[in-house]
A and B are shown apart, each in its own frame.
Chain A
Amino acid sequence: MVKKNDPVDVVIVGLGAGGGPAAKVLSEAGYSVVGFDKGPWLRGPEHYSGDELKFQNRSYLWPDVDLMPRTVRRDETTEGRIFNFSPVPSAVGGGTTHMAGWTPRPRPSDFIMHSRHGNLEGASLADWPYRYEHLEPYLTKVEWSYGISGLDGAEVGAGFRSKRYPSGPLGPTKFGEKFYEGCRKLGINAMPLPMSHLTERNELGRKAVNRTSFWNQYGDPTETRSTVATTYIPEALATGNFEVRADSFVKEVVVDRNGKATGVVYIAPDGSEREQEARVVILALGAIESSRLMLMSKSARFPDGLANDSGLVGKNATFHEYLFAVGLFDRELSPALNGFTGNYQSGGSMHFYETDYDRGHIGGGIIATTQIGQPINPILPGKPVWGGAAKDADRDYFLHSMKIGMILQDLPQETNRVDLDPTVKDRWGMPVARITNRPHANDTAMSKWQIDKNVEILEAAGAVRTMPVYLGAEFTGNACHQHGTVRMGTDVTKSVLNEWAQAHSVDNLFVVDGSGFATALGVNPTLTIMAHSWRAADYIANTYLKGRSERLVLDPITATK
C-alpha cells in the first residue's frame, strides 16, 4: 500500500534554479507547497569548504555515477555508455550550489531565432512563445532578490533593462586585466560578467562575497554566493506555507482518467513509497531529469509518457559546451597571472553574440576569461602526467597561464534527445536517462571561429603559446547546462508546453526549468531559468489557480535579417 500524505496546492519536483523561484512566489501567494529534491539538504558552514580533492575529484556534490548514472551515445546505431553527462549537484539548491555563477541576461535576439534565420537544414529552430520584453520584468526581479552584481553601462548591445544592478562587480584579477588588455587592442567590447554574488557596496544590505577563490564546483561555506538554497528556499520557508522534502526521489507523476495530474509518487528517505497529491504539479529537475520523469510517467491516457502527445518529450535537447583556449606566458618575462584567483571568471564579452554571416555560422556565445584552477586540477591541455616534465609544467605555468572560454550555443536538433535507457537502472531501480547527441555543422563552425578568436585575444595579451580546445565529435556535457527537452511553443503538434510553461495536454502540469527553452541562448541559462520560473509561477498563482486562463498574443516580427 502506498501511503498518502495530505493533499497540498502545489508540488514542486526539483529545488534548483527552476524550483526555487516557484517555491518562493507560490508560497508567498498563500498556497501550500511541497518541494522535493532527490539530493540532501546541505548547509554552508557545516558541509562546504575549500577542499579541492573533495569537491573536484571525489564528487562530493555531483551525483555518484554508480548510483545515478546516465548513458550517452552519438547516434541511434551506437550503444550507450555510462557517463556522468551534464552533472548538476544532487542537493537542495541544485546547480546553483556549485555554479561559478555567470548570470548575464539573454538578448532579445535569443527569443526569435527562427524568425531571424528561418529553417536551417538539420536544425529545428523555433521562436520562443514569449519574447525578451515579457521576461524583462522578471529578470529584474531576480537580479534584485537573488542578488546579482554587474557593471551598468558596460555591455554594448544589451537589451532594455528597467533597473540597474543592485551591486557593482568584483575588481579584475591579474589574468582579467590581461584579458581586457587583449580585447582593447583588438577593438573588442569587454565587461565584468554579471555574477551571482554581491560586493561591498551592494544595495541589498548583504554581506560581500567570500574571496577564497574556491568557487566553481565548490559549495560556498560562507553563504555569500547567491544560491537558491540561501535565498528563495529560506524565503519560501519563512511564509510557513512551504515544506522541503530532501532525499526524496519522485518516480512518477500520477494522472487521472482524464489526463489531469493528481500528484506524484516518491520514495521517501526511509525507502518507503509514498504519494503526494496536489492541485498543480511543477517539474523543475533540469532538462534531462524532467523529461526522464515525464517519459517514466506512463498511463492509459499517455502511453508514451506524460503530456507526450506530440512525441517531442526528450527531443531537441541542447547542452551548450564549454570550450576554451589556454595561453602560456613566459615566466621570465611576465608577472604572475594567479590563475587560482577570482570567483572563477574575471572579464567577459558579448561582442560576438549576434549573428554575423561573414563568420560562417549563425548565432554566437558569451566568452569569458576564467580561473586555471587550484593545484590538483589546473587546466593545461596535454599536460605531461609524470616525471620532471610534469613537475616543470606546474612550476612554469601554474601561475603563468590563463584561459578564455566560451559558451557554445548549440542549435536544437530533433535527433539530439533524452530517452530511457533500455538496460541501465539507477539506485531506485528506475531506467536512467540516455542522451543521444552529435553536433550540428553550425556548432562545429562556431566553436572553431570563436576559439580561434579567443586565441587571438590571448596573443594580443602577450601569450607566447596558445592551446585551442574545440568541440569534438560529441558533446561532453561539461557546461552542466541543459535545455529544450520539453519544448515551449504555440503549435501543439510542435511543442509540449505553452508560453506559461504549462503542458498543452495537462493543464495543471508546468515545467519551469530550462526544458521549455525552444533554443539554447548564447549565455548561461540560470538567470533566464529563474526569471522564466518566476513568470510561470506568477501565472499559476494569479491566473491559473484563480480558475482563469490567458493567452499571450505576440506581434509579428519585422524582418531584420
Chain B
Amino acid sequence: MASKSEWEKLDLTIDPDTDEKLFFSDHEWDTIEAAAARIIPTDQDPGAREARVIVFIDRYLSGITYHYATADGSGFLQLAGAEAGAARARTSEFQRMYREGVRALDAEAVRHAAETFVSADEAIQDAVLVMISGSPKPNRVRLDEHEVFYSRLQGNSDTGKSFFDTLALHVRQGFYSDPVYGGNKDQIGWKVIGFPGPKSLKDTVDGTYTTAPFFVQEYDWHDLLLTYDPPHSDN
C-alpha cells in the first residue's frame, strides 16, 4: 500500500561497528571518514570517527531503506508510492554529489602536494576543506562579539546545498541523531554536549523517557510573575 500510514516495517538494524560498505567504495569510505573527522574532530572528547558517522552516511546513501526508523526504533520503514520515488531521486543526486566530492577532495589534496586526501596530514586536510567550502576555517563563538541576523525557515532539510554543506550537515546528523541510524554510537555525541537523551526511541513512544527532572522543581507563580491575580471563585 502506498499510503505513508501503511508503509511496511523492515526488520533491519545497523551495527555501528560494521565495515561492510553498502554504498561507498573502500577509498570513498576512508576519504569521507577522514573528512568527517576534521568536521567534528577528536580532542579530549570523541569525535565523528568514534561515533561511526561514516556508517550513518553510508547507510543513508545506500538507497531509501534507511531513511526513516520505525517509531519504536526496531527497524526501518519501507517507503512506497510517490514518496519513494521522490526519495530515490534525491538519493541518486546525493550519490553523484558524494562521488564527485571525493574526487574533488583528492584533486585539491594533490594541489597541496599530498597523494590523496586520506594520506594528507590534518593541516593539509583542513586547507583542502577550506578550499572546498569556499570559506575560511570557522572561528570559535565568542562572548565579546556582536552580530545581527535575519530570519530563516525552521527545519533543516539537506537538499539544495553544496557538497561541503551537505557533508557538514550529514556529519552533524550522524554525530547527534538517534543511534538507530548507525552513528552516535553509544550516544557518544550526546554525552559530549550533555544531552540526556532517551535510551531508545521506544522510550519516547511510551513516555518512559522524561525530561521532567531537568525542569525547575520548586516554584511559586507569585514569585515568578510580576502580576498574578488568581480568581477566587468558580466562574
Contacts and interface: CB of A to CB of B under 8 A. Distances in A.
Query: Is chain B found bound to chain A in the same assembly?
Result: yes
B43 A391 contact: yes
Interface stretch (B24-32, B105-113, B173-181): B173-181
Nearest to A54: B68
Interface stretch (B12-20, B94-102, B133-141): B133-141
A376 B173 contact: yes
A470 B150 contact: yes
Contacts of B197: 375
A551 interface: no
A176 to B, nearest CB: 7
Contacts, number: 299
A340 B151 contact: no
Contacts of B10: none
Contact of B157 (A57, A85, A170, A211): A57
Contact of A222 (B193, B205, B234): B205
Nearest to A213: B211
A191 B138 CA distance: 39
A40 B4 contact: yes
B36 to A, nearest CB: 10
Interface in B165-189: 165, 168-169, 171-173, 176-178, 180-181, 189
B131 interface: no
Contacts of A217: 154-155
A30 interface: no
A368 B121 CA distance: 48
Chain B interface extent, by class = 35 or more
Contacts of B54: none
B150 A472 contact: yes
A180 interface: yes
A189 B227 contact: yes
Contacts of B228: 151, 153-154, 191
Given A67-B86, A467-B149, A212 B210 contact: yes
A230 interface: no
Given A151-B221, A189-B227, A392 B141 contact: yes
Interface string A194-232: 000000000000000011111001000110100000000
A48 B71 contact: yes
A184 B226 contact: yes
A354 B106 CA distance: 60
Nearest to A163: B235
B69 interface: yes
B73 interface: yes
B109 to A, nearest CB: 17
A54 B216 CA distance: 29
A47 interface: yes
A374 B181 CA distance: 16
B11 interface: no
A421 interface: no
Contacts of A330: 143
B123 interface: no
B96 to A, nearest CB: 16
Looking at B139, B219, B226, the one whose CB has the most chain A CB atoms below 10 A away is B226
Nearest to B145: A465
A48 B14 CA distance: 20
Given A180-B224, A391-B40, A210 B207 contact: yes
A247 B138 CA distance: 45
A172 B178 contact: no
A167 B119 CA distance: 62
Given A49-B71, A65-B159, A87-B155, A211 B195 contact: no
B211 A67 contact: no
B194 A171 contact: no
Contacts of B72: 49
Contacts of B153: 83-85, 476-478
A386 B235 contact: no
B45 interface: yes
Contacts of A59: 155, 157
A190 B221 CA distance: 10
A28 B97 CA distance: 55
A154 B230 CA distance: 7
A393 B140 contact: yes
Given A64-B83, A472-B150, A221 B224 contact: no
A309 interface: no
A196 B75 CA distance: 31
A383 B141 contact: yes
B216 A470 contact: no
Contacts of A65: 157, 159
Looking at A153, A375, A382, A472, the one whose CB has the most chain B CB atoms below 10 A away is A375
Contact of B176 (A42, A54, A375, A470): A375
B148 A470 contact: yes
B210 A211 contact: yes
A213 B82 CA distance: 32
Contacts of A67: 82-83, 86
Contacts of A274: none
A322 interface: yes
Looking at B137, B138, B171, the one whose CB has the most chain A CB atoms below 10 A away is B138
A386 B211 contact: no
Interface of B: 2-5, 38-41, 43, 45, 47, 67-69, 71-73, 82-83, 86, 89-90, 126, 129, 133, 137-159, 165, 168-169, 171-173, 176-178, 180-181, 189-190, 192-195, 197-198, 201, 204-207, 209-212, 214-217, 219, 221, 224-231, 234-235
24 contacts: A49-B204, A50-B178, A51-B178, A52-B178, A53-B177, A65-B157, A67-B82, A172-B219, A214-B204, A322-B151, A338-B214, A340-B211, A375-B189, A375-B193, A377-B156, A383-B141, A384-B138, A386-B39, A387-B126, A390-B172, A391-B41, A398-B194, A468-B148, A470-B150
In the A-B complex, the 10 residue pairs with the smallest Cβ-Cβ separation, listed nearest first, are: A50-B204, A384-B138, A472-B150, A375-B176, A53-B177, A40-B5, A381-B149, A153-B230, A49-B71, A221-B205
Given A153-B229, A321-B151, A465-B144, 5 more contacts: A51-B177, A171-B219, A183-B226, A386-B138, A389-B140
